[in-house]
Amino acid sequence: MSDVVLEVEDLSIGFASEDASRATKGGTAVETVTAITDRLNFELRRGEVLGLVGESGCGKTVTALALLRLLPSPGGRVLGGRIQFQGRDILSLDHDELRKLRGGQISMIFQEPSAALNPLMTIEGQLFEVFAYHDLSEAPGVASPEKRIRELLARVGFADPDRILKSYPHQLSGGMLQRVVIAMALLLKPAIIIADEPTTALDVTVQAQIMELLVELQREEGTSVLLITHNLGLIAQYAERLAVMYAGRIVEDAPVESFLAQAHHPYSQGLLAALPDVTRPKRLQAIDGQVPRPADYDDGCRFRDRCHRRSDVSPPERCEERPRLRNIHGEKDREVACWLHESAAREIRS
């Protein structure tokens, strides 16, 4: 059996809008599609925590929504590629198969727990609602909904589950709501949890508690986690591998330990240089320039206008072409998309 539970291949996502300025002679607005992500490739292995890192606006959340076919409608659409979950193509599933997949086999923890929960329903009602849409046969080892709910509320640190169950979301703190959402995500023992910025709205102390809890439960349940964040500190502490996104593309994929020891893509190097180091105080280095808008994306390297090493590429015009993810320096488990490493990649593949 393969260790890969989720494989994303050449995934492109876009949003359509009507452009009145380009209306046809009949007065109908022309639909324009803006690509947000461009041919993403990554895989999630059984029982691992994979970090998806990048600046705000690079396409991380859109990618997460596409994995469960939750892109905003109308407008959001998959433009091409495949999403394989345990050998099945998610993009070809029918309504019933998709319903079983969501929450049952792949769960998602959204950025803002207070927005993810229904303010008009008690926590009890929302937790039991999961079982209204899923048969217990889909979750081996789950004897009854009530037993599973109480078991998980205890595991996430609630000493008084009865009070929590009778509460409405506005009666609980942000940290408590996040614990509820984590418990909800684990109810049916999914194979994958997508955690989209799970600690964004929490203070530092609660962040650490939530992440420790999530990783502890992940190890106990044998669940794979896709951890989406812009916080490299969380990735360093909790993930085994990471994929770095920039302007809708993955530019580096590597084990966390080797990435922190030596990042290869200039953008990755810039991210690490901007991190504070308490052991060696230094002036933080900013990355010059701005991330391009999706409407301004082109086919070349999208980091080239901000890249401090562009002059090292020979010839420099190569940066006008798109670099592909390639294995480099004899390291089979890491890839980088940069023309700086083209010669090393060729040597490995020859």
Per-residue pLDDT reduced to its tens digit, 134-145: 877 666 667 788
Q: Is the pLDDT of residue 25 over 60?
A: no
Considering only residues 152 and 25, tell me which one the structure prediction assigns the higher pLDDT.
152
Model confidence pLDDT, tens digit, residues 231-287: 898 899 999 999 999 999 999 999 999 999 999 999 999 999 888 877 777 777 888
The answer to whether residues 55 and 72 touch, using CB atoms and an 8 Å cutoff, is: no
Which amino acid, 204? V
What 8-state DSSP symbol labels residue 332?
Answer: E
The answer to whether residues 254 and 341 touch, using CB atoms and an 8 Å cutoff, is: no
Q: Is the pLDDT of residue 14 over 50?
A: yes
The overall average pLDDT reported for the chain is 87
Model confidence pLDDT, tens digit, residues 154-184: 988 899 999 999 999 999 998 899 889 989 9
From CA 156, how far away is CA 14, in angstroms rounded? Answer: 37
Q: Is the pLDDT of residue 21 over 60?
A: no
Considering only residues 16 and 19, tell me which one the structure prediction assigns the higher pLDDT.
16
- In our burial notation (b when 16+ CB lie closer than 10 A, e otherwise), range 197-217 reads bbbebbeeebbebbbebbbeb
Residue with tokens 């099945």: 88
Give the residue from 246, 179, 193 showing the smallest Cα distance to 224.
193
> How sure is the predictor about 344, in pLDDT bands with cuts at 50, 70 and 90?
very low
Q: Per-domain residue ranges for the chain?
A: 254-350
pTM greater than the 0.75 cutoff:
yes
**Which residues neighbour 347 within 8 Å (Cβ) at sequence distance 6 or greater?**
none
Q: Is the pLDDT of residue 1 over 70?
A: no
Model confidence pLDDT, tens digit, residues 43-67: 999 999 999 998 888 999 999 999 9
The answer to whether residues 202 and 114 touch, using CB atoms and an 8 Å cutoff, is: no
Residue with tokens 């809708």: 248
| pLDDT value, residue 24 | 59
**Which residues neighbour 129 within 8 Å (Cβ) at sequence distance 6 or greater?**
121
Tokens of 89: 């193509």
From CA 99, how far away is CA 115, in angstroms rounded? Answer: 21
Q: Is the pLDDT of residue 19 over 70?
A: no
Q: Is the pLDDT of residue 5 over 90?
A: yes
| pLDDT value, residue 163 | 95
From CA 148, how far away is CA 32, in angstroms rounded? Answer: 47
> How sure is the predictor about 114, in pLDDT bands with cuts at 50, 70 and 90?
confident
| pLDDT value, residue 283 | 79
Model confidence pLDDT, tens digit, residues 76-96: 899 999 999 998 999 999 998
| pLDDT (average), residues 215-224 | 87
> How sure is the predictor about 26, in pLDDT bands with cuts at 50, 70 and 90?
low
